[in-house]
Amino acid sequence: MSKTDLNSPEPEFDHSNLLELAASRMPFGKYSGRLLIDLPEPYVVWFAGQGFPPGKLGQMLQTVYEIKVNGLEYLFEPLREK
């Protein structure tokens, strides 16, 4: 690791994406209206096998998939709407 690597600033994290994900709902299908973060893991895994929808919804579902399969659901607890 070079000396410049140690002095480089940390990348900024855009929390608005995570907040938007926590508030987004499934727009279609069996779980229409359910928060994306509350979709059952097998359903999200099914999407991973079949292919995520295009666009922003697909990106959000892929993020939910990564969070669920890695056991990180607790990250959403402080973000849930009260």
What SS3 state is found at 25? Answer: strand
Average pLDDT score over the chain = 86
- Domain borders along the chain are 36-82
**Could you report the per-residue pLDDT of 39-82, keeping only the tens digit for each?**
999 999 999 999 999 999 999 999 999 999 999 989 888 877 65
Are the C-beta atoms of 68 and 44 separated by less than 8 Å? yes
As to burial, measured by CB atoms within 10 angstroms (0-12 exposed, 13-18 middle, 19+ buried), residue 61 is buried
Give the model's confidence band at 11: pLDDT under 50 very low, under 70 low, under 90 confident, else very high. Answer: low
